[in-house]
Amino acid sequence: MDALCEVHTAKELEKVLHTDAEIIGINNRNLHNFTMDLSTTTTLLNTLSPEQRRSKKIVCESGVYSFRDIPEGVDAALVGSAIMKSTLPELKLKELRGKPLLKICGIREVEEAQECERLRVDFVGFNFVAPSRRCIPVQKAALLRAELKQTKAVGIFQNQSIEEVNFIAQSLNLDLIQLSGEEDQTFIDACAKPVIKTVTPDQLNLDLKAEYLLVDGPKPGSGTPADFSSLENTAQPFLLAGGVTTDNAWQLLNTFHPIGLDVASGIETHGRIDINKVTHLVNLLSSC
C-alpha cells in the first residue's frame, strides 16, 4: 500500500517536493471556507519542472464531475460525489474515463434491441412522439424492453402530459425519460425516472437540472445538423445529436468533446436501423 500526500497550496507543494513522497494529491477544495476552484490543480501543476512531473504521480482531487474537469497532465483523479450522486454510476464512471457514451434512437424491432444489447450500446430510445415515423405503441416497446439487460431503455416524449409520460415510464420500467419539447424544470422534477433533457446549443447554459443534457438542432429527431460552433468552449457536459453519422462522428467528438452521441437517421438505411452502421459506430467510439 502506498501513501498519498495531499497539498492545497504552492507552499505545501514545495514542502512535499523535498520529501520522498511519490504520490501527490492536489485538493481543489479550500479547507478554510470549503469553496472549490478547479484551477488549483492546473496552477500547482504548472509550477513543477519536467523532472518533477516524471518522478511524481499527481492526483487531481475534489470537484471532478466530468472528464472535462480533469486537467491535462495529471496521472489520476479522485472522484466521490459525482459517482455517489449519479443514478447510473456505471455510465458515470465510463464518462469520467473519457469514453464516449452512445445512444441509438428509434429502434422498432426485437432484433434491433437484441443487437444493441449484444453490442453493449449504452442507451436505446423508444419513441412515443405520435407525429414521428419512429413512434411505436407501448405494447411493442414492452417486447423490446424485455431484451435489454445492460443497455439502458429511454422513453422519448415531446410536450406530452406528465401523467402519460410517467405512466409509460413506470409501466415499461424505463431507465430514463427523454424530454424533447418545451418542458421546464418543474416538469423535469415531476418525472418518475431520471431525465435526458433536449436543448438547443443556445439553451445549454440555462440552469436546467437533469441527468443529461442533450444538444440537438431546432427539430429533434429530424437528423438535420445544427450550428454547434458555440459548444467548442463550453464547460457544461452534454450529449450531442443532430445530423450525427458514422462519417462525422469522430470529427464531432474531437471538435466539441461531448460526453456522448445520440444517433437516429445516421444509423439508418432506407429508413430502418442498419446494424452494420451501429456496429461501426460502436467500434469507433470504443477506440477513443
Which cell is 145 given?
424492453
Distance of CA 278 to the CA centre of its chain: 19
* Domains within the chain, CATH numbers bracketed: 4-85 (3.20.20), 89-286 (3.20.20.70)
Per-state percent for the chain, helix, strand, coil, to nearest 5: 35, 20, 45
Q: What is the pLDDT along the chain (288 residues), one digit of tens a residue?
A: 899 999 999 999 999 999 999 999 999 998 888 889 999 999 999 999 999 999 999 999 999 988 888 999 999 999 998 999 899 999 999 999 989 999 999 999 999 999 999 999 999 999 999 989 999 999 999 999 999 999 999 999 999 999 999 999 999 999 999 999 999 999 999 999 999 999 988 888 788 999 999 999 777 666 666 778 888 777 788 999 988 999 999 999 999 999 999 999 999 999 999 999 999 999 999 988
Angle at 189 between CA 187 and CA 194, to 5 degrees: 105
Residues 60, 33 contacting (CB under 8 angstroms): no
Report the candidate in 35, 47, 45, 38 with the shortest Cα–Cα distance to residue 65.
Answer: 38
Dihedral sign (CA 181, 187, 192, 198): positive
> Residue 222 has what pLDDT?
60
pTM: 0.87
> Residue 221 has what pLDDT?
62
Q: How distant, in Å, are the alpha carbons of 4, 153, 264 from that of 15? A: 14, 51, 55
Q: How distant, in Å, are the alpha carbons of 103, 228, 239, 252 from that of 231? A: 20, 6, 11, 11
> Residue 136 has what pLDDT?
97
